[in-house]
Amino acid sequence: MPVNISNSSILDVGLIYHEPAVLEHPRGREILERFPDAERRIVRSHWNIPGLHGNEGAVAEWVQIKRTVLVLGVKKSITTVENGRSADFIAPGHANGCVMACVYCYVPRRKGFANPITTYVNIEDICRGIRRHVGKLGPKTVPNQVDPRYWVYDIGCNSDCSVDALISENVRDLYDLFGELPDAKGSFATKFVNRDLLDYETHGKMRIRFSLMPPSIAKVVDVRTSSIPERIEAINDFVEAGYEVHLNLSPVIYYPDWLRDYAELFQMVNDGTSEKAKRQLQAEIIFLTHNEGLHEVNLQWHPKAEELLWQPAMQEKKISEGGGLNVRYKRGTKGKLVQAFCDLLAREMPYCPVRYAF
């Protein structure tokens, strides 16, 4: 059946690049059938598409490419990575990239100048990899800040599952997988309110983390996302649908009057959430880390955002694990900012414990 997307402005696939092997997988054929009118182009590798990846000219069409281009591939490396902050582990990704265009997102750095969604069609291999990893661990015997009972796997580290669910049944398959695993559950952060997910069976094993920041800042840096009021409004509904709902206060960006704006944001949460939602709410706090290469790309399509993100007087350089040049708030400065933020949250939302902050 052709895909029925109520908001075609977020996703309107007109071109699909796919590896030849995609047709050998039921999920690949299923996705192609969802978009019958899209042009198809066969490529050797989903990671290296001439004219798309590494094409500096694509910056001018940054948003258009995200909305209209889809890449399908077969995931070769089924690996699970230890995390310890948002989750115990990062699950092997079922997708990479996003239709949204948050200017601080780290995922585009690897692809170069264009970052549409790549969906992996070998979901059975991905689920087997997770099942095997959980099986080797056995039960979680020592509670930690991630979760007191279950091993938690982040299933949306390199994509947004709320949007991925518009493309395929990969996300639903992962929900069902965790429903079968006695010792693990899934988790993902999102900036898109997909109410179709309210009908998914969570099996009591899915944590959704709604990303929040002051609305005035989100309008600048969270491009093509659901509004902050929409995200807050969704919290109660997702709790009622059986989700564990946390807040992803990320990235926290410093600017004049930032604490005033966050106080107003926290009041919006206070006013918009039920007592039931408040009792289970927790937060993770992540201050901005930016990237020099991404800064240069953003200057070509959204320079206004860089006035917020690129603040050399307050930032220091750091080489990332991948060898890239990142910038973050200077060590002494950042500690004071984190403390001020945590103090504000504790004062305005005392019912919401902080799982971690950095």
The Cα–Cα gap between 269 and 278 comes to 9
Whether the predicted pLDDT of 6 surpasses 50: no
What tokens does 341 get?
Answer: 């933020």
Can you give the CATH number for the domain in which 209 is found? 3.80.30.30
Identify whether 9 is part of a domain.
Answer: no
Whether the predicted pLDDT of 127 surpasses 60: yes
- Taking only the tens place, the pLDDT of each residue in 139-185 is 999 999 999 999 999 999 999 999 999 999 999 999 999 999 999 99
Identify whether 96 is part of a domain.
Answer: yes
Identify whether 158 is part of a domain.
Answer: yes
What tokens does 43 get?
Answer: 């490529």
Q: What is the mean pLDDT of the chain?
A: 93
Whether the predicted pLDDT of 125 surpasses 80: yes
The Cα–Cα gap between 264 and 229 comes to 12
Identify whether 311 is part of a domain.
Answer: yes
Tally of structural domains, the chain: 1
Identify whether 267 is part of a domain.
Answer: yes
Whether the predicted pLDDT of 126 surpasses 80: yes
Identify whether 5 is part of a domain.
Answer: no
Whether the predicted pLDDT of 106 surpasses 90: no
The Cα–Cα gap between 31 and 26 comes to 9
344 in Cβ contact with 263 (< 8 Å):
yes
- Taking only the tens place, the pLDDT of each residue in 45-62 is 998 898 887 666 677 788
- Taking only the tens place, the pLDDT of each residue in 246-288 is 999 999 999 999 999 999 999 999 999 999 999 999 999 999 9
Q: What is the pLDDT, as a whole number, of residue 262? A: 98
Q: What is the pLDDT, as a whole number, of residue 322? A: 66
Q: What is the pLDDT, as a whole number, of residue 296? A: 87
Helix (H, G, I), strand (E, B) or coil at 148: coil
Give me the DSSP letters along 279-290.
HH--EEEEE-EE
> Using alpha carbons only, how large is the chain's radius of gyration in Å?
20
Residue whose C-alpha is closest to residue 127's, from 85, 172, 189, 161: 172
- Taking only the tens place, the pLDDT of each residue in 197-253 is 999 999 999 999 999 999 999 999 999 999 999 999 999 999 999 999 999 999 999
> Regarding beta strands 184-190 and 151-154, do their DSSP bridges make them parallel or antiparallel, or are they unpaired?
parallel
Predicted TM-score of the model (pTM) = 0.95
Identify whether 102 is part of a domain.
Answer: yes
Identify whether 4 is part of a domain.
Answer: no
The Cα–Cα gap between 90 and 53 comes to 25
- Structural domain of residue 324, as residue ranges? 15-357
